[in-house]
Amino acid sequence: MDSPSGKLTRKNRIIVGCQWGDEGKGKVVDLLSRDADIVARFQGGNNAGHTVVVGGTKYALRLIPSGILHPGKICVIGNGVVLDPFVFMEELAMLKKSGIGTTDRLFVSAATNLVLPYHCAIDQGEEAERGNGGIGTTGRGIGPAYQDKVRRSGIRLADLFDDGRLKAKLDIHRRTKGRLLDGLPGAPKVDFDKLYTDLISLRDVLRPMMIDVSLMLEEAHKGGAVILFEGAQGGMLDVDLGTYPYCTSSNTTVGGALTGLGVGPNLVDEVVGVVKAYTTRVGAGPFPTELNDRTGEILRDRGGEYGTVTGRPRRTGWLDLVLLRHTCRISGVEKVAITKMDVLDDFAEIKVATGYELDGKVLDNVPVDIARLPDCRPIYRSFEGWKSSTVGITSYTELPQKAREFVGFICRELNVGMLLLSTGPARDQTVMV
């Protein structure tokens, strides 16, 4: 069990988002990194951002695990991630400027596939071609990079250190991607000769970081190290089990942690799901509890709901327990971390969707055909708001009674325990339950 004093026991934990991303995983990972030795990122790319506030300074990380902000912690990027090496270099420079060292404590799997400029160009060109039927991609090249990975034509980190192999692969992509880009008039141009030179220039920085992540984690586990598994996005964006095709291109659920780092389930002690006290979504796709009214605007403004990477305003709505039942089940969530409780402080009434109505029937779970989600009408339960500030509260007993009733209801409905409750963006604005 976790200590009642608020100090967590040392466990290997997988952290997953339980909505459409942007749940506040960055802060949760940052907090739990204190009790871990290694923080391991297992999927996604720089299309997702984790924002962490430390000592009044805001850090926006896109690829590097937020555990890097803790001195002495080892951080790794697994084979399940698609890595834009140029964005990665920007993050390294940002951390260095902030006085945060990464030497001998940041490593990348040799099998990690790279996101390169032609992936971004294709992503942007194809989204432009879709017009009003776009899927809401960020244009960061993530989908096309995963496509290359799956069809076994991707360029991996290890390929950078073999001239012949790198040139051969780039030549193939010069031809195949060139033909594709010629048919996408809205796509940016790509200079493949410059790309080769730019990639070669990164070797000296990247070579010391390249390791076999799977082997490293196995040996660390045998030596007693505690590992924190960090994911990006959320369960409803999972390519298999989310709102397909309005999803990301990787497995954001617990299975992605195992395949994305090359480890077995014996390394996992606990799965923690991060849940925002309301719901947000970026980009296109179904959103049953969306609020296209003044209430939705208030949630967006008070919650600062703008994308870490894109700056796009997020769509907002009430908490949806139907979606949460789905994501908690598919990831085997045992405890939740509830974030942004303070955003609800001034509401006189707070709603929670407990079911859907579809074709005259009441559903407790998402429809079998998830493409029917736009046809679902949420069934709400209303809660009286607590109408007092929870900002900075660190003790569960100090929370307003109605706030405790609200979070208690969530946990009972999901049949999970609660690990922590966030009452603000800073590290110390947290209730450890």
Amino acid at 246: Y
Active-site position among 37, 50, 173, 221: 50
Q: Residue count of the chain, please give it.
A: 433
- What three-state secondary structure class fits 156? strand
**Tokens 């001034």 belong to which residue?**
346
- The two structure tokens encoding residue 423: 């009452």
Helix runs in 307-393, H state only: 321-331
Strand pairing of 335-339 and 315-317? Answer: unpaired
Amino acid at 51: T
Question: Alpha carbon 77 to chain centroid distance?
Answer: 14
Rounded to 10°, the helix 142-150/117-130 angle is 110
CB-neighbour burial class of residue 329 (10 A; exposed 0-12, middle 13-18, buried 19+): middle
301 labelled catalytic: no
What whole-number distance in Å separates Cα of residue 323 and Cα of residue 327?
6
- What three-state secondary structure class fits 164? helix
Active-site position among 22, 37, 159, 320: 22
22 labelled catalytic: yes
Compute CA distances 46 → 18, 150, 190, 262, 384, whole Å. Answer: 19, 19, 20, 21, 39
Q: Which sequence positions are flagged as catalytic?
A: 22, 50
